[in-house]
Structure 1
């Protein structure tokens, strides 16, 4: 069935027509073929032809030629455009040529040559395993037996790891293994490093933010050690379509952008693709069972409801990735924004007549019309489950992307329940797929969806990256995935290899999603984001300099590889006794491994293993940060549709013990979060305001949980838990707005939460332009009365333990940062707030409350007290006290 017929299935003969807010047909694209390069290994070409690739696409040949010529190359084309061929063809051809040369004259020692080696790096183990399977198919089709390929990562056993070190021509791994194992033990990997011809960095757009900075420095350490062993590998990078891929690739590997050849013209064919923006229906009265049948996110999105008070309480965004997003229920009268029954209130955030220049932000002259709040709508996950059931019934092969592991399990379970009412044979065609599954389970699911034994997978973004799953008819996306890069990566799974496909983005009950499905240009026409990261961030660079010195003494002539800040940081590390300086360079002299000083992914601890109590079978893993809320005693844990009840949680051992039980309920955790200022390191007075930087503790503690019956979510019981608090100590920048500043801005107690919240969101969105970070590296907090400041306060903090330098950069550029924030809000043409100004794609409060007009007035008032550029003085103000 084509996308038009599948859309007709979803529209249900017009009964759902009003839910499709926008339908767009993306035209097909003809493919452009090229001849196989003359240097390409003939057996490999024969293997590709046996797998159906008669002639390559033009972009594949352009990239392969550049790689073969010794140029660092980035290939940034669409999902399913065959990027793998572009790097495997030159790499494997070189390996086979080297293997043949090594045996030309085995009787003469001078004819012996080293076989070239290839190192393949991917952001996930799943992708490396998928590439291994693809390579095995290619080599089998080519009939070759002289290329030795293997994966090697943290799960690889000691004997197998030794074989890889001694014999493998192609090693597939990830940056984590490089950082913790290969580079610190480089002498045992000398054969691989001394012969290293190519380094392949797959899905390189995934290396962004602090993680991207870490990976960039790992790659610099790799290139440094390879040079020490006499190798100068060519780096080839594969990426989704991103803004300025050459610059991003160059920053990742540590070279000048002029040294990177970028291939961006996609010559692969594309079938017609239909993209639909979809809004679930309103619920009659807002109390129907579908209103809350399937939670949008994991239990961290369910908050502890506290009674309303006269003073609006703290509003917390889960904007940082290091901890749960906790915030008030949007229906709490203590934190709901101004009413919208009166146009003048909706437009200005205050009661009374509309300002003379219009109802929009001051100075824009824009006149706004208040839009009444919608009644509650069916959740995106509930809607996706119903749509997925219809597509499976129609015979379509589909992926349904959700925003959480719990969402993936819920969509799969509910879809199977719908299908059981239609045909008892259909439920077996649907499964879930997510992180935390065992590797063998993921491989089996991937093979089942490829072969057609499964028609549908409800998945997290674990399948967004390049695992080869082609031939899909449709993709459903439950909620805005956060970036346009992710949107098009997920959408690219539909209609691969030139086939037609259907993509449906289903809006969550969130103003951001609502805005996007009613403003298709914001979702579908705006350019994709650049990949943002900063390898010069001193908080990231310093531990990698230590790791490099531990691997091999760091010489002065090598510092250019690590950038202009390396010398300054090495001096500081030497003064603090972390490194020791000798005439020959900098040395690591401590017993513990230097690689342990940093965690590439900032995961915050080892995953908790979920084990079946009766059998000892490992069911899966849960991130340490979310274990308290998902695998506490009494929690219902869902794995591949089967339910287990957790009997014991041993945090110190990282183990949760569970028993298989069929239950008719789910569990939802309750917790509280607090933020405490630990140390004010710097402080500047802006008239009545203070502008501060220092250390804060963000503490979250799970207090208990509720058992709720499915599907109506009636509360069955409430239970207390005795779990320890979890605290993230990190760096934050914050500013205060005492009552006189709020009064100056015309911000009342009623409108203050929305004003502060909107200003916080906008400032988080603008800081990456000044601090070279990613929005996902930041967290935020806004509160009308904070316990430590005693007044209204807006915090922006680094989302990484100890800080990552972003908040500090914001402090140094305070007035510039806030003026840019103010200008971004004022220049945005929207009426009451949108993703381009005050809405956040990762707000833990569902983007409520937000008051764009009041935020603009507040920032105007704050900036009247900010120092002018000439008054700012040195970049590092004198510490407070």
Structure 2
């Protein structure tokens, strides 16, 4: 549909600062880096001035050099400083990564650098949930640089701070990599974990500088300041990259009609999407993603899409392109939105490669839920070149340096511009040329983007939206902080510093209660609930409680411990499934796929799903039921007869059954009922209402109203990503012709995380632009009656029924006109 050529750019270098350790400079020289890029020198200069640093330069521009040059130089200066060194603590550094793969990759690069420099007195290790106890003990006693993740900080290091006292006393730098990945609820959680870390470091006498890095961050200085809880004027932002960039070609691609000739001869699809490779909220009709083992396409032959022509599955198209690249000896990644998608693409690609006489072992899948040893083996294959083609979820999006990667295929818009450019940046690193192909999947946002390339190439990356003052997030962190070290009056500034209102609040709208007042009220509530105890000197954790304070929250929003998938005959653990997705993913009778192997779920309890190998020629798709109860209205706007509101809601969902669908055409085999409990989500929503008689005057009568509202809801959820840092898997929704609270036709779009994540609020604030983009996507779609490119949702629990495209166009046109 469109080809964009991004030109090459030369690099600019400057001399090393004189305070960088000479041995380290020699080590970089041995690895071909004789002088740093100019932006790296600017970052090092900011650190030398004692400032926090936000380093937001393009992918492959060497951001890690700034962190390691500063950290290793500090350690080496202490090591060789003679007697005076005995008066100070040996400097240490904590590096935080959003994924284990990225931390392992960074350690490999750092270890190679230290070896090249001949430096043997700097000790660097990774510590995460997979680290054996003996290695973790060694890290506590001896490590200078600890590479870990926010989860390890929250669950292990901070609650046992006294055991990590040596590391905390000497803490000189905290490195936060891939800042843009910390958005929404996860961003709020990580922000509070960082504030807890900095508070404890101060207690032990340290005052670390924070280095925040991202290749795709908007407004990086203020965002980094909000993340770590300091005034924006204490952060220096370096945003202009000076490293060389090779020519990059970006292709926007739409799968051809199914009757078009194809090299593989395959048509039809084998599986849909289940959202990002991470936790989501409870499943619902239009809640977060459907799970592993489910299909996300309509599969009903949808006659409404005939005019546009049924097209090949995005996953089949991606597998075909990956097989072509591998067959030509090119190294490539395919990014897909779901775990089942990664497994399906890898399986199909291996078949295509073998059919063409190639080596199928050169292709693999990579996703969350694998066991640690599987992940490490795949990462070695990627770095060593044993794997040419890998189908992956966003688990490999962040930062992992895969030298020599030629191409990236993105199977479906990844949700944000930030993620798109992160994934595209995997190809053509280190100044080499690269190719990126974005294949449109069957959802309206993808269709909009491939037909409007300016929305891809002329739009900047999104602001990172997160609110550390969200009481649902803040409360459990206050409990954890009080258990780590009793909270005092002076400590309150760590958790409610003076800062601008976050993007989750309308521009210019002050916090009505004030952050400090809100914090005190929250502490009083925690005392009243028996979680904290108030004493003259501060607030203490109530140790009579049966639970640990860290168990009160989940940083990733998964809603509980992962469910283990266990093989019945052997007791072998095959993988894991996030708790929030388990009801829909591993219910009895579900199909679970792992590295191409297919299993059927025999039973599912609270924390274990028992499976057996199966060659069943079908996949499963859950049915869900949802209802929404309004808990209040925090913001309201009237646009003529249309009322927009925002406030707290209670979303109750239940997986009620599932379909079996035969692959590859996904014909319905049968439907089955399930008896699973209800799940309740307390969150924030934006909704609009219009009197039924007003819609009738606009041409949407009672007969077409349910389908029109349902179709508009699907499209609104899909298009909110154009005005907020989110995608449809961060959201849920409900449409109804008569709601019990509003007594009128109503469409809800809600955040898919407890307490809300700010995305629905952004929709309320930018409603005009949101509705305009939604109307354009639905109206401009070439189908006559609705199709997966405009109003169908890949995660609709009601089987995309009823849907009325013409009614949705009339509803959206009316909404757009109501703004005046």
TM bucket (normalised to shorter chain) is 0.7 to 0.9
Q: 1:844 aligns with which of 772, 795, 819?
A: 795
Q: Deviations over 1:280-314 (max 9, x none)?
A: 1112399x99553322314999xxxxxxxxxxxxx
1:579 equivalent in alignment to 2:557: no
Once residues 209 and 319 of structure 2 are traced to their aligned partners in structure 1, the CA distance between those partners, rounded to angstroms, is 46
Cα deviation for residue 773 of structure 1 reads: 8.9
Residue 617 of structure 1 aligns with which residue? 572
The question of whether the paired residues in 2 share the 8 Å contact of 1:321 and 1:799 is answered with no
Once residues 288 and 396 of structure 2 are traced to their aligned partners in structure 1, the CA distance between those partners, rounded to angstroms, is 23
**Aligned counterparts, 1:617-696, within 5 A:** 617-646=572-601, 648-652=602-606, 654-660=607-613, 663=615, 665-677=617-629, 693-696=647-650
For residue 395 of structure 1, give the secondary structure of its aligned residue in structure 2: coil
Change in Cα spacing, 1:74 to 1:731, as seen in structure 2 (3 Å) is: closer
Once residues 760 and 711 of structure 1 are traced to their aligned partners in structure 2, the CA distance between those partners, rounded to angstroms, is 29
Once residues 228 and 276 of structure 2 are traced to their aligned partners in structure 1, the CA distance between those partners, rounded to angstroms, is 36
For residue 475 of structure 1, give the secondary structure of its aligned residue in structure 2: strand
Once residues 621 and 197 of structure 1 are traced to their aligned partners in structure 2, the CA distance between those partners, rounded to angstroms, is 36
Change in Cα spacing, 1:855 to 1:639, as seen in structure 2 (3 Å) is: same
Cα deviation for residue 68 of structure 1 reads: 3.0
Residue 771 of structure 2 aligns with which residue? 825
Cα deviation for residue 487 of structure 1 reads: 0.9
1:457 equivalent in alignment to 2:390: yes
1:33 equivalent in alignment to 2:33: no
Cα deviation for residue 117 of structure 1 reads: 0.8
Cα deviation for residue 471 of structure 1 reads: 0.7
Once residues 806 and 507 of structure 1 are traced to their aligned partners in structure 2, the CA distance between those partners, rounded to angstroms, is 24
The question of whether the paired residues in 2 share the 8 Å contact of 1:200 and 1:235 is answered with yes
The question of whether the paired residues in 2 share the 8 Å contact of 1:119 and 1:170 is answered with yes
Residue 273 of structure 2 aligns with which residue? 297
The question of whether the paired residues in 1 share the 8 Å contact of 2:171 and 2:208 is answered with yes
1:445 equivalent in alignment to 2:397: no
Cα deviation for residue 454 of structure 1 reads: 1.4
Q: 2:97 aligns with which of 90, 98, 122?
A: 122
1:49 equivalent in alignment to 2:29: yes
For residue 189 of structure 2, give the secondary structure of its aligned residue in structure 1: helix
Cα deviation for residue 250 of structure 1 reads: 0.8
Residue 512 of structure 1 aligns with which residue? 445
Cα deviation for residue 279 of structure 1 reads: 1.0
**Aligned counterparts, 1:449-598, within 5 A:** 449-563=382-496, 564-574=514-524, 577=528, 578-592=531-545, 593-598=548-553
Q: 1:62 aligns with which of 42, 57, 79?
A: 42
**Aligned counterparts, 1:229-244, within 5 A:** 229-244=204-219
Residue 144 of structure 2 aligns with which residue? 169
Change in Cα spacing, 1:863 to 1:29, as seen in structure 2 (3 Å) is: closer
Residue 268 of structure 1 aligns with which residue? 243
Q: 1:429 aligns with which of 351, 355, 362?
A: 362
Residue 507 of structure 2 aligns with which residue? none
Residue 191 of structure 2 aligns with which residue? 216
Cα deviation for residue 504 of structure 1 reads: 0.8
Once residues 635 and 424 of structure 2 are traced to their aligned partners in structure 1, the CA distance between those partners, rounded to angstroms, is 47
Cα deviation for residue 828 of structure 1 reads: 8.8
Once residues 98 and 468 of structure 1 are traced to their aligned partners in structure 2, the CA distance between those partners, rounded to angstroms, is 31
The question of whether the paired residues in 2 share the 8 Å contact of 1:417 and 1:427 is answered with yes
Change in Cα spacing, 1:392 to 1:37, as seen in structure 2 (3 Å) is: same
Once residues 558 and 841 of structure 1 are traced to their aligned partners in structure 2, the CA distance between those partners, rounded to angstroms, is 50
* Structure number with bigger Rg: 1
Q: Deviations over 1:675-701 (max 9, x none)?
A: 143866899998998968554233131
Cα deviation for residue 474 of structure 1 reads: 0.8
For residue 334 of structure 2, give the secondary structure of its aligned residue in structure 1: strand
Change in Cα spacing, 1:556 to 1:396, as seen in structure 2 (3 Å) is: same
For residue 146 of structure 1, give the secondary structure of its aligned residue in structure 2: coil
Residue 352 of structure 1 aligns with which residue? none
Change in Cα spacing, 1:498 to 1:753, as seen in structure 2 (3 Å) is: farther
Residue 249 of structure 1 aligns with which residue? 224
The question of whether the paired residues in 1 share the 8 Å contact of 2:415 and 2:726 is answered with no
The question of whether the paired residues in 2 share the 8 Å contact of 1:219 and 1:253 is answered with yes
Once residues 323 and 432 of structure 1 are traced to their aligned partners in structure 2, the CA distance between those partners, rounded to angstroms, is 14
1:855 equivalent in alignment to 2:796: no
Change in Cα spacing, 1:658 to 1:475, as seen in structure 2 (3 Å) is: same
Gaps (5+ residues) in structure 2? Answer: 278-283, 497-513, 782-788
Once residues 550 and 834 of structure 1 are traced to their aligned partners in structure 2, the CA distance between those partners, rounded to angstroms, is 56
The question of whether the paired residues in 2 share the 8 Å contact of 1:681 and 1:695 is answered with no
TM-score, normalised on structure 1?
0.80
The question of whether the paired residues in 1 share the 8 Å contact of 2:659 and 2:669 is answered with no
Change in Cα spacing, 1:819 to 1:118, as seen in structure 2 (3 Å) is: closer
Larger CA deviation: 754-763 vs 612-621: 754-763
For residue 598 of structure 2, give the secondary structure of its aligned residue in structure 1: strand
The question of whether the paired residues in 2 share the 8 Å contact of 1:760 and 1:782 is answered with yes
Once residues 440 and 432 of structure 1 are traced to their aligned partners in structure 2, the CA distance between those partners, rounded to angstroms, is 14
Once residues 85 and 388 of structure 2 are traced to their aligned partners in structure 1, the CA distance between those partners, rounded to angstroms, is 58
Larger CA deviation: 728-737 vs 81-90: 728-737
Larger CA deviation: 849-858 vs 44-53: 849-858
TM-score, normalised on structure 2?
0.85
Q: Deviations over 1:646-674 (max 9, x none)?
A: 4x33322x22333445x262321331322
Q: Deviations over 1:198-217 (max 9, x none)?
A: 00001111001111011111
For residue 545 of structure 1, give the secondary structure of its aligned residue in structure 2: helix
Q: 1:389 aligns with which of 323, 341, 344?
A: 323
1:701 equivalent in alignment to 2:634: no
For residue 815 of structure 2, give the secondary structure of its aligned residue in structure 1: helix
Residue 417 of structure 1 aligns with which residue? 351
1:398 equivalent in alignment to 2:398: no
Q: Deviations over 1:138-191 (max 9, x none)?
A: 222222221121222233333332222221111111111212222222122211
Once residues 489 and 522 of structure 1 are traced to their aligned partners in structure 2, the CA distance between those partners, rounded to angstroms, is 17
Change in Cα spacing, 1:819 to 1:667, as seen in structure 2 (3 Å) is: closer
Q: Deviations over 1:39-93 (max 9, x none)?
A: 1112222222222323222222221222233210111111111111111011111
Change in Cα spacing, 1:501 to 1:130, as seen in structure 2 (3 Å) is: same
Once residues 38 and 812 of structure 2 are traced to their aligned partners in structure 1, the CA distance between those partners, rounded to angstroms, is 50
1:225 equivalent in alignment to 2:200: yes
Larger CA deviation: 406-415 vs 517-526: 517-526
Larger CA deviation: 477-486 vs 145-154: 145-154
Number of aligned residues: 776
Gaps (5+ residues) in structure 1? Answer: 1-20, 302-314, 341-371, 811-816, 865-881
Cα deviation for residue 704 of structure 1 reads: 3.5
The question of whether the paired residues in 2 share the 8 Å contact of 1:473 and 1:494 is answered with yes
Change in Cα spacing, 1:469 to 1:58, as seen in structure 2 (3 Å) is: same
The question of whether the paired residues in 2 share the 8 Å contact of 1:554 and 1:586 is answered with yes
